Amino acid sequence: MSRSVDELASVEGIGRVTIARLKNAGISYLEDLVAFNPEELEELAGIDYERAVKVIRAARQLLGWSARVYRGKEYAEALARREVLTTGVRALDELLGGGLVVYDIYEFAGEFGSGKTQLCHQLAVTAQLPPAKGGLGGDVVYIDTEGTFSPERVERIAQRFGVEDPLSRVYVARPINVDEMEEVVVKNLAPLLRGGARLIVIDSIIALYRAEFKGREWLAARQQRINYLLDWLKRLARIHEAAVVITNQVVAVPSTWGVTIKLPAGGNIIAHASTHRFLLKKAGDVWTAECLDSPRIARGASASFLIAEDGLRDVK
């Protein structure tokens, strides 16, 4: 249950004016407030830095989220209790160690036609399945930066999984630039997550940044903005226990012996922000997902799948 920022009135030194400022900035719940950094709150709500620190701290205390240290065993149990989302493909689920767990950020990079968007569509369906069937029993927020979201594909894949009226549970955003995408993430996501969204998809994370920040002189600024967005995604995923999937393009990087290899775009920032990073490839009629980096999955581990008219499937 979400708790109102009105409760802050009970805290010594926090007045009505501050609470009104929070609400004006669209922050009505304590759970939303704790996601902010003081700097962000200062900018968004016009609350001075010191007061912002105090307000965020008070919200955390009211929620009983004061900094906590866990015993390893207890922590392991909490991790093991995290919900898992099936991809609908047994081989991929096995590669992932059961499926996609909430809180973690999963990145799928690959060339055109490597299956990134099809996978996102499939997850937009499986996330709606009840937990007993491998889903999260929740809604989906699909941030489509490349204009490739297809309602028809979602409906077709949903038929296969027996999900009825799937589009009523998918929220689609089509931001036209980085600023709009940031607004969607910082302002629009929290209410949707509170309302029952459990999966956030960004297909792709990089397109808008590439279009907007051209040339080397903009690289530092671009990386900073990507970092800001990914940091928000992480905070929201933790607070609302959501699964996060981002797709990425690849860039050709020269390696030794004059060979070029394809690596995910976005440099270190995306590499560090993604908990699990996979490279998707198509070879003949079969697609593969290969693990590039993960704290739990071996580098180089891979799984094969097919893309059919009704979605991603196991190779027979």
11-30 core/surface letters (b: 16 or more CB in 10 A; e: else): beebeeebbebbeebebbbb
Taking residues 106 to 135 in sequence order and writing x for each that binds ligand ATP by CB under 6 A, - otherwise, the string is: ----x-xxxxxxx-----------------
Give the residue with the Cβ less far from ligand ATP, 153 or 225: 153
Secondary structure letter of residue 66 according to DSSP? -
Rounded least distance, CB 10 to ligand ATP, Å: 50
Give the residue with the Cβ less far from ligand ATP, 86 or 204: 204
Q: Three-state SS for 146?
A: coil
The conformational region for residue 232 under phi > 0 = left, psi -120 to 50 = alpha, else beta, is alpha
Give the residue with the Cβ less far from Mg ion, 113 or 131: 113
Give the residue with the Cβ less far from Mg ion, 147 or 258: 147
DSSP string, 90-142: HHHHHHTTSSEETTSEEEEEESTTSSHHHHHHHHHHHTTS-GGGTS-SSEEEE
87 counts as binding Mg ion under rule CB under 5 A: no
**Residue 162 vs residues 69, 104, 300: alpha-carbon distances, Å:** 42, 27, 34
Check if the beta carbon of residue 200 is closer than 8 Å to that of residue 243: yes
Rounded least distance, CB 302 to ligand ATP, Å: 16
Give CA–CA dist 203/121, Å, rounded.
Answer: 10
117 counts as binding Mg ion under rule CB under 5 A: yes
Backbone angles phi, psi at 58, to 5 degrees: -60, -40
Rounded least distance, CB 287 to ligand ATP, Å: 8
**148, 188, 223, 227: which one contacts ligand ATP (CB under 6 A)?**
148
114 touches, from Mg ion, ligand ATP, none (C-beta below 5 to 8 Å by class): ligand ATP
Rounded least distance, CB 154 to ligand ATP, Å: 12
Rounded least distance, CB 112 to ligand ATP, Å: 3
Give the residue with the Cβ less far from Mg ion, 178 or 280: 280
113 touches, from ligand ATP, Mg ion, none (C-beta below 5 to 8 Å by class): ligand ATP
Give the residue with the Cβ less far from Mg ion, 117 or 275: 117
Q: Which residues pair with 201 in a beta bridge?
A: 142, 245
Give CA–CA dist 41/232, Å, rounded.
Answer: 13
308 counts as binding ligand ATP under rule CB under 6 A: yes
Give CA–CA dist 32/44, Å, rounded.
Answer: 13
Give CA–CA dist 227/298, Å, rounded.
Answer: 26
Give the residue with the Cβ less far from ligand ATP, 118 or 275: 118
Size of the site for Mg ion (CB under 5 A): 3
Rounded least distance, CB 67 to Mg ion, Å: 40
Rounded least distance, CB 310 to ligand ATP, Å: 8
Q: Which residues of this protein are in contact with ligand ATP, per CB under 6 A?
A: 110, 112-118, 146, 148, 307-309
